[in-house]
Amino acid sequence: IEPDTLDRLFQPFTQADASTTRRFGGTGLGLSISKHLVERMGGCIGAESTPGQGSVFWFELPLERSEAGPQSESDPSRRNEPAAPEPSHQQPRLAGLRILAVDDNRMNLFLLERMLYGEGAEVGLCADGQQAVETLKASPSAYDVVLMDIQMPVMDGIAATRDLRRHPATASVPVFALTAGVLPEERESALAAGMNEFLAKPIDLEQLVAKLLPYAPPPGEDTMVTPAGVTGIETLESSRAETDTDEWPVIPGIDSSRSRLRFGTDRAFFLKMLGMFVEEFDGLRSELSACLAAGDRESASRRIHNLKGNAGNLGAIELMELAKVADIAIRNQQSDEGEAVERLQFALETLVTDCRPCLSRFTSAAAVATAAATLSNRRLGELQTALMQHNLAALGLFAELEPAIAAACGAPTAAAMALAIRHLKFEEALSELDAALRQG
């Protein structure tokens, strides 16, 4: 390692040999994180190197001598003892970590918000790269990590990351790419733009936590989580009371074991996401036909990309794979594009048809009546405030209150609000709600 590089080696996003990033996916954060950890423990870290020969990396820590003497490994009484206490998931593992989640798909945002809040993180939401850039430039120190979807309208994740890296105040914020499958050239572009990690959709909670843990505040620091804050995340805690593990919905085309594992046996939340999926993609055939007829392959690819990620979230693996094939066919203008899209649409329509009886069965009149009783002035006020402020917390709030709004204000009002909120037209949704409340 050359001397001038050695001096910068423990700074974020520095590689001694740039080719390692291309070959092995490194991002230049490992030594920076090591330095942070060692210094937090009261030690120091450094490196010595002779170009072309080799390097020595070292660290020193002040440690107290153990009072206990060494114990023989052959001690029979210790053979069956665990090496360390079993990890407890009762304690949030990401307490105090401030995360900005960026995705144009409300289902992905809703699921990410819930997963991260369950681990104690504070979560902010943005619907595209432009919103994320503006949010971070306005408050550069507000978030510790950014989870960024790659394919988004307005500004995609790669362009947003490039923008962040150009400004000193946001140049070092860690950005993790979220993608339902990325081509090799896109991965190289993302790394070149300054993204640090890749996380495949559907998101695996344990993998996500493992990637985020190095950025979480050490235990014992002030890790108070703001329940409502920027996300209105309080809605998630209240819905946990609806958890029901007695009977899990069985739907052809959905792997029940996968979905049950992903949703933590929370049947109510799974059904909410299933209903959102049906609403979101029921009319996909006409959307794709219009896009392809107009030659708008980018929009068609983006919708299929969203479908792919959401199908994976629910455990609809076959549909996810068909979406992957159709997406590649559209991007590359393959000769079998029409056949791939038709297979996808047939599988989607079959799944939607199979979902409807399940949704009807588990959404009983008693549940609607209970939901209507929970439509308190406080919760309505929070939703109205979020809509007025164009705050993406409205996504989670409306998802929680939608059954109650339908029962109290009528299904047409709830449906109109859902459509407006899905397209982030918060003023329209607020007008619908205010009009219904005045009439009531």
pLDDT in tens, 285-344: 999 999 999 999 989 998 998 899 899 999 999 999 999 999 999 989 998 899 999 999
pLDDT digits (tens, 9 = 90+) for 219-247: 755 444 333 333 333 333 334 444 444 57
Which DSSP string do the residues of 363-378 spell out, in sequence order?
S-HHHHHHHHHT--HH
Q: How far is CA 350 from CA 6, 241, 252, 319, 344, in A?
A: 59, 32, 9, 10, 10
Q: Which residues neighbour 19 within 8 Å (Cβ) at sequence distance 6 or greater? A: none
Q: What is the pLDDT of residue 227?
A: 34
Q: What angle do helix axes 377-388 and 426-439 make, rounded to 10 degrees?
A: 150
pLDDT digits (tens, 9 = 90+) for 112-149: 888 888 888 988 889 899 999 999 999 999 999 999 99
Which DSSP string do the residues of 123-136 spell out, in sequence order?
EEEESSHHHHHHHH
Of 363, 382, 402, the position where a domain reaches its end is: 363
- Comparing 13-17, 88-92, 375-379, the range with the smallest average pLDDT is 13-17
Of 344, 363, 382, the position where a domain reaches its end is: 363
The answer to whether residue 67 sits within a structural domain is no
The answer to whether residue 76 sits within a structural domain is no
pLDDT at 434 over 90: no
Of residues 404 and 164, which shows the higher confidence score? 164
**Band (163; pLDDT cuts 50, 70, 90):** very high
| Domain count across the chain | 4
Helix (H) and strand (E) counts for the chain?
A: 20, 7
Contact between 420 and 394 (Cβ < 8 Å): no
The answer to whether residue 70 sits within a structural domain is no
Give the length of the chain.
440
- DSSP-derived pairing of the beta strands 98-102 and 145-149: parallel
The answer to whether residue 49 sits within a structural domain is yes
* Partners of residue 124 on adjacent β-strands: 100
104 and 179, same domain (yes or no)? yes
Average pLDDT, the chain: 79
pLDDT digits (tens, 9 = 90+) for 14-55: 455 544 443 333 435 577 777 777 877 778 888 888 888 888
Which tokens in the block code for residue 86? 């079993």
265 and 351, same domain (yes or no)? yes
Average pLDDT of the residues in 183-210: 84
Contact between 157 and 128 (Cβ < 8 Å): no
267 and 227, same domain (yes or no)? no
Q: What is the pLDDT of residue 181?
A: 63
377 and 318, same domain (yes or no)? no
Q: What is the pTM of this model?
A: 0.59
Whether the bond into 202 is cis, omega within 30 of 0 = yes
The answer to whether residue 31 sits within a structural domain is yes
Q: What is the pLDDT of residue 364?
A: 53
Q: Which domain holds residue 397?
A: 366-439
The answer to whether residue 172 sits within a structural domain is yes
